[in-house]
């Protein structure tokens, strides 16, 4: 059953990834990318990385795609069809993709995956929260507060750039 779901999700990811790069309407490419990202989140849920899946959905599917769609809508060439790609570009990009596929496939197949007997790290949201807020040994409270400073810097930077006349 789990294998079946895995193949269904894989098929969704593959189909929409190909559609993302082959469609001639740019706004549709963004929406196909959204489907790819959501299907990736489904993978994380399958592996029970619930927090990672939630981050994938809120930040990538909810945030980044919105930003991409906004960027597209700000341009005035939304309705134009993208140019047909010429055959030289098709062949070279095909070769590059093939090379990448062979490289990654080679690495995966020559690597021997050993089943480990050691305890798998607890990745539940509860445990992440406990570690993130822990100020003792092995706690991440300082990075947690630094994140807010980083976000503050990002916000101020965005406002300064946007408000510059």
Choose between 102 and 151: whose C-beta lies nearer to other proteins. Answer: 151
Rounded least distance, CB 70 to other proteins, Å: 4
User: Is 24 in contact with 81 (CB distance < 8 Å)?
Assistant: yes
Query: Which stretches of the chain bind other proteins, using CB under 8 A?
Result: 1-2, 5, 27, 46, 48, 51, 54-55, 58-59, 62-64, 66-67, 70-71, 73-76, 78-79, 125-126, 128-130, 132-133, 135, 141, 144-145, 147-149, 151-152, 154-156, 158-159, 162-163
Rounded least distance, CB 124 to other proteins, Å: 8
- Angle between helix axes 125-133 and 141-163 (nearest 10 degrees) is 90
Alpha carbons 1 and 158: distance in angstroms, whole number: 47
Rounded least distance, CB 97 to other proteins, Å: 30
Q: Residue 41 class from Cβ within 10 Å (0-12 exposed, 13-18 middle, 19+ buried)?
A: buried
Rounded least distance, CB 32 to other proteins, Å: 16
Helix ranges, 24-86 (H): 26-46, 50-55, 65-74
């Amino acid at each position: 059953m789990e294998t079946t779901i895995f193949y269904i999700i894989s098929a969704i990811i593959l189909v929409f990834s190909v559609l993302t790069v082959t469609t001639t309407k740019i706004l549709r490419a963004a929406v196909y990318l959204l489907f790819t990202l959501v299907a990736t989140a489904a993978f994380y849920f399958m592996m029970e990385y619930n927090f990672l899946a939630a981050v994938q959905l809120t930040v990538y599917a909810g945030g980044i795609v919105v930003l991409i769609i906004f960027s597209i809508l700000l341009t005035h060439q939304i309705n134009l069809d993208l140019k047909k790609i010429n055959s030289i570009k098709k062949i070279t990009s095909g070769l590059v993709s093939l090379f990448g596929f062979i490289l990654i496939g080679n690495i995966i197949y020559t690597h021997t995956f050993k089943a480990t007997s050691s305890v798998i790290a607890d990745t539940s949201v509860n445990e992440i929260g406990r570690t993130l807020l822990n100020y003792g040994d092995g706690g991440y409270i300082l990075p947690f507060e630094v994140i807010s400073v980083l976000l503050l810097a990002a916000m101020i930077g965005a406002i300064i750039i946007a408000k510059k006349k």
